[in-house]
C-alpha cells in the first residue's frame, strides 16, 4: 500500500521516531520533500508554487482540511505564489510515519488541484 493510501495513527508521546532505514525506504515516495532540522527536530518540508495568492490560499485550506481529516497538523506558510508545508510530529519531537503519509497526501492534493 502506498503512503497516499494509508491513514495516520494516533501518536503517543512515547511513540518511536522513524528510523533512518525506514526514512530511506519511504523517501522515494515523496522525492520533492527535504528532510530538514529545525530547533533540534527532524522535519519534512516542501515549497509549492502557484500563479497568485488566491491559488496559494486555496491550497493552504485544502492542506488544512487534510490535516483535520488525518488528525495531524503541519506548519503552513502562505505567501504570494507559494506555500511552504512542514510536517513533523510535535509529541515526539521528530519524524513519524504519519509525517511521510501526510507529505504524500499533500503531494496528491497539489497534483490534483
DSSP 60-102: HHHHHHHHHHHT---EEEEETTEEEEEE-BGGGTB--HHHHHH
pLDDT at 71: 94
pLDDT at 49: 98
Q: Looking at residue 97, which CATH number applies to its domain?
A: 3.30.1360.20
Q: pLDDT per residue over 89-113, tens digit each?
A: 999 999 999 999 999 999 999 999 9
Query: Is residue 28 domain-resident?
Result: no
Q: pLDDT per residue over 33-84, tens digit each?
A: 999 999 999 999 999 999 999 999 999 999 999 999 999 999 999 999 999 9
Other beta carbons within 10 Å of 14: 7
Query: Is residue 11 domain-resident?
Result: no
pLDDT at 72: 95
Does this model's pTM top 0.85? My answer is yes
Residue found by looking up cell 521516531 in the block: 17
Query: Is residue 49 domain-resident?
Result: yes
Query: Is residue 103 domain-resident?
Result: yes
Q: Which domain holds residue 45?
A: 41-113
How many structural domains compose the chain?
1
Amino acid at each position: 500500500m502506498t503512503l497516499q493510501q494509508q491513514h495516520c495513527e494516533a501518536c503517543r508521546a512515547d511513540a518511536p521516531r522513524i528510523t533512518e532505514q525506514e526514512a530511506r525506504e519511504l523517501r522515494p515516495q515523496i522525492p520533492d520533500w527535504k528532510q530538514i532540522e529545525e530547533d533540534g527536530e527532524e522535519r519534512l518540508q516542501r515549497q509549492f508554487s502557484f500563479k497568485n495568492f488566491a491559488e496559494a490560499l486555496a491550497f493552504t485550506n485544502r492542506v488544512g482540511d487534510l490535516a483535520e481529516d488525518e488528525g495531524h497538523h503541519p506548519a503552513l506558510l502562505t505567501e504570494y505564489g507559494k506555500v511552504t508545508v512542514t510536517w513533523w510530529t510535535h509529541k515526539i519531537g521528530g519524524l513519524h510515519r504519519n509525517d511521510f503519509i501526510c507529505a504524500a497526501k499533500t503531494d496528491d492534493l497539489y497534483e490534483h488541484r
